[in-house]
Structure 1
Amino acid sequence: MNRKTKMLVLGLIIFILVISSILLGMHFTKPNNNDDSGISFPKAPAKQPIQNVNADIVHRERDWTTNFTHDAAIIKADGWYYAFSTDYMIGASPTPGIQIRKSKNLIDWEFVGRVFDQVSMEAWEWTTGNTFWAPNVIEMNDKFYLYYSVSSVGKRNSYIGLATSDSIEGPWTDEGAVFKTKESDDYTANAIDPDIVIDHEGQPWMVYGSYFGGIFITKIDKVTGKLVDPTDEGTLIAQRKNMSYGIEGPEIMYNPDTGYYYLTVSYEWLEDTYNVRTARSKSITGPYLDYNHRDMVDTTDESFDTGNKLVGSYAFENSDGWLGTGHNGLLEEDGNYYLTHNARAGEDIYWSHLHVRKILWTLDGWPVVSPERYAGEKEQKIKEENLVGHYEQIHLPRYDDSLQTSAELTLLPKGKVENKEKSSWELTGDNTLKLSIYDPGVAPDDYWNYSLKVIPAWDWENWNPTIVFTGMDQEGTVLWGKKKLEKNH
């Protein structure tokens, strides 16, 4: 072999070694996006992706499932979850009566029927309303108490009524008015959107209200289910500046692990900018303060910034998204908490669905919700290597209630964040992702510091399992994330 040939062979060997080193380095630095070892994912919610808009079912109630659900309240009874909701449909006037759906798993819903055939004469004469709004159901004294609303659109001519039954599916007996308001009365409340909550001492309360004077809470008699004082509109616990600042749909839940009552309300307009906010108090009658210690009774121009936003209009990739994500319900079962809410399809905002989301709790005792609808997922041990990969992330700013779209985020091995100088992440033992994003001159002390809960979930947009995170930064702004796992991985 001559010298020239030897040099060519040596050069070729060196070239191969260099390329091999580069490829080997890429192998060890490229994130393994599909490492789901040790994770038990939920199963597919259905055999095929579910249509958000389906004109074929408009007049087939048996096929409605979650379609046309609005302002749903949820209760567990006789081994079933029941959702009672506003009279609503698309393409025709809704049949009055309060819609009833039931499910064994909070995923598959079947239409049961209605509570009534028509609005009572008393409610009609008071309001001229001919449909029912925003019901709520609770079990007391070995029977069921159903609270409902009838109202004139845009006026305080409103009526909260009560019905009772020995069976969750009826028949129901109308017990008449619980509280009524008129444009000409001395009250400031609007008598709609009732929610009954029992405090930790066993006393039932009714929290209610919509727009106008704000949200009020008043005592309920344990036996009759009506107001202890029929003339008492109660204590004001949440309010915004005026009718241009929407607030309605209150619910309250108590968490014995934190010792707080959590108030949820909906801000803005039901067809698009609707969003759910929360605040908490050690007393059921308030004051309710948010993450930034702002009181929910806020009549200033800054009330858009009050309340932690739990869910708002959003769109992940491969989806037209969801708008009108408001008027929530709350459910607790064996220490597991769930939030339900309206959601209007991005393809056609008049198609309103029931969404159910698992509530997770931050280290400092705040509720946050999964960015994906519930599909039976359970909290479980997540490993650091499971988190490495590509994500879609969505911020839910309090000051902007428009549709929020996703952006890219990539978590690299060893706590690095792709294309984010000086940024980092780590997973603590309680499935909390600590994410620190360097944003000089914008973030407080140049860093956005997120505390995020991690859980397996079902990716409804891409129809495959995934890993999600949800939580807040140091200013109480929510960040959602969804890992971009490949199908059939």
Structure 2
Amino acid sequence: MEAQIQVQYPDPPPDYAMLDVPAIDTETEWKISNVHDPSIFKDGEMYYLYSTDVKVGGSPGAGIMVRKSADLIRWEWVGYALEGVPREAADWTGATNLWAPDIAKLGDTYYLYYSASTFGTNRSYIGVATSASPEGPWTDQGAVIKTAPGDGPNAIDPNIVRDAQGGYWFVYGSFFGGIHIAPLDEGTGKLKEEGVGIHIAARDRATEEGAVEGPYIIYNEDTGYYYLFVSYDSLYQDYNVRVGRSEQITGPYLDAAGRDMKDVAYRPQYEVGNKLIGGYRFSAGDGWLAPGHNSVLQDENGADYLIHHARPEADKNWMYLHVRKLVWTADGWPTVSPERYAGEREQDIPEQELYGDWELVAHAKYMDGIVPSYKVTLHEDGRAASEYGELSWSYDGKRTLSLSMQEEAADRSVDEPPVEVQVLAAWDWELKRPTLVFTGLDSEGSALWGKKLP
């Protein structure tokens, strides 16, 4: 008799208090709270997180918040990288705190990039500070790029990316003229040439619903593509993460439908970019609102993670760090786990573990705000019961589940293309128990999530 595969589930993670009013003025107790626009960086065996200066219920300190972790699960407060807003940045923008950092190590020196601005204007400033350690002390080196009203781009949300040939690039932008990329001088950490760089993503800038910001680019050696992650829409209401890819770092970045991420001819609400995550709610526990402004960790062990912030449905004034396992589809697109990371690893899952009740979340591109889950039952004979139509499913015996759905339209049935999803053994943060989840993309480039119920 063949030995039964034993599924390895994560151990229970720390249960950090939510909406923790007693700790609202104690920074060392913030752990994953008061995190906005997180940027991840690994140095040796330690993970560092740099984020926007924010505070629920009061004015934050200024200087870029720093946290660290040995496992991406348990986080420790380090402090502020800088002592307030550097003078040149404050004089140019009037900013009282710093936003949306990124960090890179060029040679033996750490470069911390920061944004200074005020809401609703592109009188903005990206500066850089240097250090011999990811924990500082940091020495400000002044401006990398500045913008003013009338300029095309907005000088916030920096990201430093290394291309396949070893060269470095500077990516930035939010609202206004969209996202730009320019070559970076590795010796100075600043731009190689004057100008705003090459335009790679845009949306209709007339409304908040037309926002595109928070760019982050990675290169995947296995697929040969560069991936541009951005956040769409209102950071308080319906933020969501989109992605396109390109064979060249300077674009064009196309989504799964072949649409260019800088083509504003499409309706800005939903038509461009694969949608990886938006607001959602499972049947148990509160939902999460406006997840976005991500960074991506490509760990040395081959595991990839999406790092972003999100707001609890119970009170959207709070902001929390989310770390999620990122997995890749067979045709080379990233998808993310429905549950926050708790130590799970990719592994083969026996088919019989899939039988039973699941709840699914379909992150359709046209959906704003929080998307609720719906129930599906996977039967042993390959049938599945759903309130939205007749389903069938198959499994490769390892970790790839294929779902096929028939939808009723007028007087006929419409066969939807099968959706392939990857199954993971994860931690159910809502029910505080181990469970199975799956993640994938449908034919429209929208995320489909599943979580197995008890």
Q: TM-score, normalised by structure 2?
A: 0.95
SS at match of 1:348: coil
Partner of 1:351: 318
Deviation at 1:271, TM superposition (A): 1.1
Partner of 1:5: none
Q: In 1, distance between residues paired with 2:71 and 2:403?
A: 33
Partner of 1:406: 373
1:236 aligns with 2:202: no
Q: In 1, distance between residues paired with 2:57 and 2:255?
A: 40
Q: Give yes or no for contact 1:242–1:299 (8 Å, CA) kept in 2.
A: no
Select which of 214, 218, 231 maps to 2:182: 218
Q: Which amino acid aligns with 1:44?
A: P
Deviation at 1:190, TM superposition (A): 0.4
Structure having the higher strand fraction is 2
Deviation at 1:344, TM superposition (A): 0.5
SS at match of 1:111: strand
Q: Give yes or no for contact 2:375–2:386 (8 Å, CA) kept in 1.
A: no
Partner of 1:285: 250
Partner of 1:294: 259
Partner of 2:444: 475
Q: Give yes or no for contact 1:438–1:448 (8 Å, CA) kept in 2.
A: no
1:205 aligns with 2:169: yes
Q: Give yes or no for contact 1:68–1:90 (8 Å, CA) kept in 2.
A: yes
Select which of 117, 122, 140 maps to 2:83: 117
**Residue correspondence of structure 1 range 2-401 to structure 2 within 5 A:** 38-46=6-14, 49-184=15-150, 187-229=151-193, 231-244=194-207, 245-303=210-268, 304-334=270-300, 335-401=302-368
Deviation at 1:91, TM superposition (A): 1.1
Q: In 1, distance between residues paired with 2:116 and 2:398?
A: 46
Q: Which amino acid aligns with 1:410?
A: T
Q: TM-score, normalised by structure 1?
A: 0.89
Deviation at 1:445, TM superposition (A): 4.8
Q: Which amino acid aligns with 2:314?
A: E
Per-residue deviation, residues 339-394 of structure 1 (Å, max 9, x unmatched): 01111111110110000001010010000000000000000011111111111110
CA distance change for structure 1 residues 115 and 429 in 2, over 3 Å: closer, same or farther? same
Q: In 2, distance between residues paired with 1:477 and 1:324?
A: 16
Q: Give yes or no for contact 1:241–1:298 (8 Å, CA) kept in 2.
A: no
Partner of 2:396: 428
Deviation at 1:475, TM superposition (A): 2.2
Q: In 2, distance between residues paired with 1:312 and 1:327?
A: 11
SS at match of 1:437: strand
SS at match of 1:125: helix
Q: Give yes or no for contact 2:28–2:77 (8 Å, CA) kept in 1.
A: yes
Partner of 1:4: none
SS at match of 1:232: coil
List 4+ stretches of structure 1 deviating above 6 A.
none
Provide structure 1 residue ranges, at least 5 long, that are not aligned to the other structure: 1-35
Q: In 1, distance between residues paired with 2:230 and 2:335?
A: 14
Deviation at 1:419, TM superposition (A): 5.2
Deviation at 1:52, TM superposition (A): 2.1
Deviation at 1:78, TM superposition (A): 3.3
Deviation at 1:444, TM superposition (A): 9.5
Q: Which amino acid aligns with 2:203?
A: R
Per-residue deviation, residues 413-456 of structure 1 (Å, max 9, x unmatched): 02111257753111114511001111143899522421101110
Per-residue deviation, residues 19-51 of structure 1 (Å, max 9, x unmatched): xxxxxxxxxxxxxxxxx96100001102xx433
Q: RMSD between aligned alpha carbons?
A: 1.5
Which stretch shifts more, 159-168 or 419-428? 419-428
Provide structure 2 residue ranges, at least 5 long, that are not aligned to the other structure: none
Q: How many residues align?
A: 445
Partner of 1:458: 427
Per-residue deviation, residues 119-154 of structure 1 (Å, max 9, x unmatched): 111111111111100000011111111110001221
Q: Give yes or no for contact 1:471–1:479 (8 Å, CA) kept in 2.
A: yes
SS at match of 2:293: coil
Q: In 1, distance between residues paired with 2:27 and 2:86?
A: 24
Per-residue deviation, residues 67-114 of structure 1 (Å, max 9, x unmatched): 000001000013210000000011111110100000000000011100
